[in-house]
Amino acid sequence: MDGRFEEVITTRERLREIIELPSHRVAGKAIDHIDDICRRFIAASPFVMVATRGADGLLDLSPKGDPAGFVAVLDDHTLAIPDRYGNNRLDTFENLLTHPEVGLFFIIPGNNDTLRVSGKGKIVIDRSLQEKLAVNGKAPTLVLIVTVEEAFTHCPKCIVRSKLWKPQEWPDRTNVPTLAEAMVAHAKLSESVAEMQVIIDDDGATRLY
């Protein structure tokens, strides 16, 4: 037990003593496939977060972004997500080699509702599919295929509370660290923050696709 806190919840029974069961409307909203509602949502989404689990048990959450509808619905149980240029860590793909379970969280800018999808993932090479997923004439090197096991829309409260789509409510970013600052500090790089920023800016300008 962790002595820093009054109580640590360790059983479902105790959890449900505190938080009541969801209504039938919420409990029954999950489906096991991609229907027309899910298709329309995915078609409008330019951003998805991909959750996987590594061999060491640690969870990873990787963002993917492209023009709206970049995640292809191949059929009612299959999604295809193109892999674009990144930092070559390949955290998601490395994880899938040992744990195929994957979770997806689709976001549409300005929209308070979100879509959650979970299932099993695999890494594929398929020239025809890769060409269909090309942007600016550049096809992805690899494609993440997700076999869908569950899908449901998520309530908008978190978006509303955070005022995510209200620029006038956004926090002051003056003291927010940059990627360059974090990389120099965390990786103990010899480059200065300014030098690292030039590298990052150049990478973003020349290696999007």
Question: How confident is residue 195, by pLDDT bands cut at 50, 70 and 90?
Answer: very high
- Taking only Cα atoms into account, the Rg of the chain, rounded to an integer number of angstroms, comes to 20
Whether residue 181 is predicted with pLDDT greater than 70 in this model: the reply is yes
The pTM of the full predicted model, rounded to 2 decimals, is 0.94
State residue 2's pLDDT score: 81
- ∠172-193-61 over CA atoms, to 5°? 65
Whether residue 1 is predicted with pLDDT greater than 80 in this model: the reply is no
Show the domain range for 124. 29-162
Residue 24 in domain: no
Residue 7 in domain: no
**68 exposure class (CB count in 10 Å sphere: 0-12, 13-18, 19+):** middle
Q: Looking at the structure, tell me whether residues 82 and 111 fall in a common domain.
A: yes
Q: Looking at the structure, tell me whether residues 192 and 141 fall in a common domain.
A: no
Q: Looking at the structure, tell me whether residues 82 and 133 fall in a common domain.
A: yes
Question: For 55-70, what is the mean pLDDT?
Answer: 97
Question: For 3-13, what is the mean pLDDT?
Answer: 95
Q: Looking at the structure, tell me whether residues 194 and 144 fall in a common domain.
A: no
Residue 17 in domain: no
Q: What percent of the chain has pLDDT over 70?
A: 100
State residue 3's pLDDT score: 85
Residue type, 87: N
